[in-house]
Amino acid sequence: MKISEASRTKIIPGDKAEVYVRDSKLTGFAVRARRMADGKIKRTFLVIYQERIDGRRRTRKAFIGDWGDPWLEKDARREAERLLSLRQNGRQLISAKKQARADQTLSDLISIFFDEHVRYLKPKSQTDYSWLTKSIIEPTFIDWRISDIARSDIVIWHQRHKSKPYAANRALGVLSRMLSYGVEKELLKANPATGIKQFQEKPREAWINEIEMPMFIAELSKRQGPHAELLLFLTVTGWRVGEAIKLRLDQVDLKNLVAHLPDSKTGSITRTISSDAAVLISRQGHAIGHVFSSNEGTSGVGYKQVRLLLRDVCEKAGVTVISPHGLRHSAATHAALNGASLFEIKEGFGWKSHQMAARYVTKAENLARVGTQKTADAINIFGKPKASILKTK
């Protein structure tokens, strides 16, 4: 009986979940009919053959595909003939579907990953994924078959970028997530990037200390315009620069000193603002749209101009040159130095965990300890001899 003839009959008896119908002309070619939970019959083409394993003959199956997905009997028969020919020549049987998956390159996976996953992320995350992929991942792996990418290859690639540990670690994370998505799509059996050790990253601790801060404020106060106003806001609040740039007037409740941020880095949150921050918001010269804007609220100020202005202010004030994010470090450190608790810093700066806030509390404790000892050494109530430096030949 041909498979096509069997397919038109009731081929699954009532007491069985599935049956195999073999083709009468092509030995090894068969179709499996399986009763699904909804009562429908699913038919799958396959090749059944014998293989000797550990001295014993075992029955093996190489699946071709489901009936109509996209296989019809004539197409499946040709694929079965190809597989059986490989088997006669002692070759491993790999179906056309599996072969197509094995031939997928990282370029193919990137297209799928960005179309089906990255496009639903926040705009900032999309930008980061795109930059890391094009700048660090693609130059090495773009034309590689994903099935050929081994763990050792990823380790060597990662080590090659050790001079920029932060970017290398972020790129490794993106590549790992990409390959995990390939596993989800059954393009890979396992993710070779799992568990690869990242580089040690030094925390970016640049900040404006208590001696520099008055000089910085004095210089910044000379500047006019929305970019300078934004920098003052960042200085007094410690907000993330992206949150401040996107802040809209309709998100601010000046009466209750709160701002509702629907799309912050940690999700939708409500942030308390100080009276100084409220004054900065209220004195902007427009009533709708973005708070800090060069065009009456139509759009927020540009990050590049903010960064350049900050550098100029730092240089003119003669203080440590920092990035806009450094103002967040400065605010958090000064809050800790002024006695803010771990919980107060965590809530005030919008961190999800206590770990980030603890860095600033510890830093303040260390600074206070150093300052206390310097005071004691200077007063020297016990008349301890001062250490002298001896030059050695």
46 and 143 within one domain: no
Give the residue-averaged pLDDT of 176-198: 90
The enclosing domain of 33 has a CATH number of 3.30.160
Query: How large is the average pLDDT for residues 136-146?
Result: 91
Average pLDDT over residues 64-88: 80
Q: Which of 34-38, 223-227, 347-351, 365-369 has the weakest average pLDDT?
A: 365-369
Last residue of a domain, one of 51, 73, 94: 94
Sorting pLDDT into bands at 50, 70 and 90, what band is 252?
A: very high
- Evaluate whether residue 121 is within a structural domain: yes
Residue type, 137: I
Name 65's bridge partners: 45
Take residue 120 and report the two structure tokens written for it. Answer: 């639903």
| Domain match, 223 and 365 both | yes
**Which of residues 61, 94, 127 is at a domain's end?**
94
The reply to whether 113 and 137 lie within a common domain is yes
- Rounded alpha-carbon distances, angstroms, from residue 282 to 101, 190, 223, 266, 384: 59, 55, 18, 26, 56
Query: Would you say residue 366 has pLDDT above 60?
Result: no
**67 and 111 housed in the same domain:** no
The parent domain of residue 67 ranges over: 3-94
| 117 and 261 share one domain | no
Task: Please indicate, yes or no, whether residues 264 and 352 belong to a single structural domain of this protein.
Answer: yes
Considering the domain boundaries, does residue 194 fall inside one?
no
Residue 18 and residue 141 in one domain = no
Q: Are residues 274 and 330 in the same domain?
A: yes
d(CA 106, CA 182): 10
Question: How many folded domains does the chain comprise?
Answer: 3
Same domain, 131 and 256: no
Distance, in Å, from the CA atom of 244 to the CA atom of 233, rounded to the nearest integer, reads 8
- pLDDT tens digits, one per residue of 14-54: 667 788 889 888 988 999 888 887 778 888 888 888 877 67
- 83, part of any domain: yes
Decide if 152 is inside a domain: yes
Provide the residue type at 175 as one letter.
Answer: L
Looking at the fold, whether 172 and 246 belong to one and the same domain comes out as no
